[in-house]
Amino acid sequence: MTASILVVDDLPALREMLNQSLASEGYRVATAGSGEEAVTCLEEQEFDVIVTDLVMPGLGGLDVLEKARLLDPRAAVILMTAYASLDTAIAALRRGACDYLEKPFTVGDLKLRVRRLLQYREMVWRERLLQRALHPRPSGHTLIGESGAIRTVRDQIARSAGTPSNVLITGESGVGKELVSRAVHAASARRDRAFIALNCGAIPDTLLESQLFGHLRGAFTTAVQANPGLFVVANHGTLFLDEIGELPLPLQVKLLRVIEEKHVWPVGGTRPVPVD
């Protein structure tokens, strides 16, 4: 597939010259005369490479770089400037730029750098495909996507799975919090133990404490048999509490004590039950 390039510069003559030079190499080229126009382009389509001037009226090149990392994190950014300094170059590279061109530069130099960036991206992509083939993810727990945000989530899952800590997963309804919790479980040392999910908003308040912490037989009128509770059932495994904010405040206090002390008190019980 033909690579796409966005050229951003407030000088029309330079912008057009770069447009024609890169298009002559077979690239699909779009241009923007300001940082604001570049952001609009990034909102409308994805680019493989972004070549942007550093100093422009309004949004500058570093602003475009920041927006690109949010809107199109796979794009490689090359910054151009006539005001080159070591500090500026270091700042640009630290903020995610892939290369830095000092004006004046030759079109041949720009073409070479663009070609090298695209070749590097292709090499990285092939390596990832190879790693996927050699080390497939467990079925049923796959997070689809290769954006910067998804890669960050995968890194967080891997770090969380390697620790015995409790994990807080936040996000709007429908973003896949349970999918992430199952991925953490599947990647952890607890993978062969139980994974239990509970929607805290779907259980009546009067039953939640018994459901979570268990109860003894005869603890209340309808307790005709003992219930160990989900914390005990999920012991040495994973208990995913969805919509935890729906828990009544008194029960949240009890839940905090369980997390801190790692034992539960069944309803009607006189001694704690250790849980992990």
Under CATH, to which class is 4-131 assigned? alpha beta
Examine the pLDDT at 90 and tell me if it is beyond 90: no
Instruction: Write down how long the chain is.
Output: 276
Q: Which alpha helices (H) appear in 72-204, and where do they start and end?
A: 86-94, 107-134, 148-161, 177-187
Q: What is the pTM of this model?
A: 0.50
- What does R_g of the chain's alpha carbons equal in angstroms? 27
pLDDT digits 0-9 by tens, 119-177: 887 787 777 666 655 555 554 456 777 787 888 888 888 888 888 888 899 888 888 88
Range name among 19-33, 93-107, 116-130, 168-182 with the lowest pLDDT average: 116-130
Has domain 148-274 been given CATH number 2.40.128.20?
no
Q: Where are the domains of the chain?
A: 4-131, 148-274
Examine the pLDDT at 19 and tell me if it is beyond 80: yes
- What is the residue-averaged pLDDT of the chain? 84
Whether 4-131 shares its CATH topology with 148-274 is answered: yes
CB of 202 closer than 8 Å to CB of 191: no
Amino acid letter at 115? R
State which H helix or E strand residue 207 sits in.
Answer: helix 205-213
Q: Which of 94, 117, 113, 95 is nearest to 105 (CA)?
A: 113
Helix (H/G/I), strand (E/B), else coil: 151: helix
pLDDT band at 111 (very low <50, low <70, confident <90, very high): very high
